[in-house]
Amino acid sequence: MAESADRMGATTTGSVRRPEDGIPAIGRSAAVRVRAPARLHFGFLDMHGGLGRRFGSIGLAIDSPALQIKASAAARASAKGAEAERIRTYLLAAAAHLDVSDAVAIEVEESIPAHAGFGSGTQLALAVAAALARLNGLSVDLLDFADVLERGNRSGVGLAAFTEGGLIVDGGRDASGAPPPVISRLPWPEAWRVVLILDEGATGVHGHRETEAFRDLPPFEESRAAEICRITLMQVLPAIATADLDTFGRGITTIQDRIGDYFAPHQGGRYASAAVAEVLRSVAAQGISGYGQSSWGPTGFALMRSERDAQALVASLERPGRLRFVIAKGRNDGASIAEI
């Protein structure tokens, strides 16, 4: 099978590629395959909002888990595989927005676990929209799709993970309602690894529970937001630029502690999963500087210097029955689209 693939996010080192650059128009295709990375969400920067923008976030595109869908022209709209009903909803919304037929068959060949802290909904929505646009030979603005498909409501990391990959910082949302702008994108060091701790018997806060949590949380302290922003600008970003894992990890863990304690009333503690929390205590006891929970969890993570170190950590950790460990790389490219 011959495939001609193009990356959504090939960038030069340290550059910022705008999501609105979108998908270039080419000829119509009979079938396409889209592969999109999961993302880790390391934390919000400013939930106080006193400067006119709220949230802001830092996160990373990773190579595993990943989403892969196949889309082809068909007699009618259909979806097969994980989250088929959700896919159909996205397909109909994207078709209406583009003013094209929704007669497309979509098959999920590989999926990102839902409600686990990987941003699966954003990647799925954008992958469906990108596939539909490519099938029709259209150029699209992914920021438009983010609004149409109700993605990026608080964080811009998922959008940027799809378009460009890397370590991403977004500037939060203002009163306009536009998706958060990417204000920094840096490449993840090739040697570094992320050990993912997946609790397959739990899900993170999502849907109505998430909406209620943000509604009921107390005001975020301005001084705490200032601390997190300072850590991001003066510790985390310089450390990733100089490949200093220890300093980077300490910064991420401090942000995790501050945000985790703030959300604790709605997720049962600093971490959503007791089993993951126990593993992370073991990680900390080994002197590892960077660890935490992605978004609402329950997935935990530990940052490691190399594949060998990551394998050694996994071998050292006890495995409660429902936990699974994955060693992931940071992904410095966005999604890919291939004609098939």
DSSP string, 75-106: SS-EEESTTHHHHHHHHHHHHHHHT----EEE
Domain membership of residue 276 as a residue range: 4-339
Q: Look at the block and give the residue holding tokens 């992370």.
A: 280
| Percent residues over pLDDT 70 in the chain | 87
What percent of the chain has a predicted confidence (pLDDT) above 90?
71
pLDDT of residue 215: 79
Q: How much is the pTM? A: 0.88
Give pLDDT, residue 118: 96
CATH of the domain at 271: 3.30.230.10
7 — pLDDT class (breaks 50, 70, 90): low
The helix (run of H) or strand (run of E) holding residue 264 is helix 245-267
User: Pairing between strand 336-339 and 31-46?
Assistant: antiparallel
Does the pLDDT at position 225 exceed 90? yes
| Single-letter amino acid, residue 12 | T
Q: What is the pLDDT of residues 96-136, one digit of tens each?
A: 989 999 999 999 999 999 999 999 999 999 999 999 999 99
Query: What average pLDDT does the structure give for the chain?
Result: 88
Reported confidence tier of residue 24, pLDDT bands at 50, 70, 90: low
Asked if 333 contacts 79 with a C-beta cutoff of 8 angstroms, the reply is: no
Q: What's the total number of domains in the chain?
A: 1
Sequence-ordered list of residues with C-beta below 8 angstroms from that of 221, at least 6 positions apart, any chain? 48
pLDDT tier at 217, thresholds 50, 70, 90: confident
Residue 285 has pLDDT above 80, yes or no: yes
Phi, psi of 232 (to 5 degrees): -65, -50
Residue 208: phi and psi, rounded to 5, are: -65, -35
Determine the 3-state secondary structure of 260 from DSSP. Answer: helix
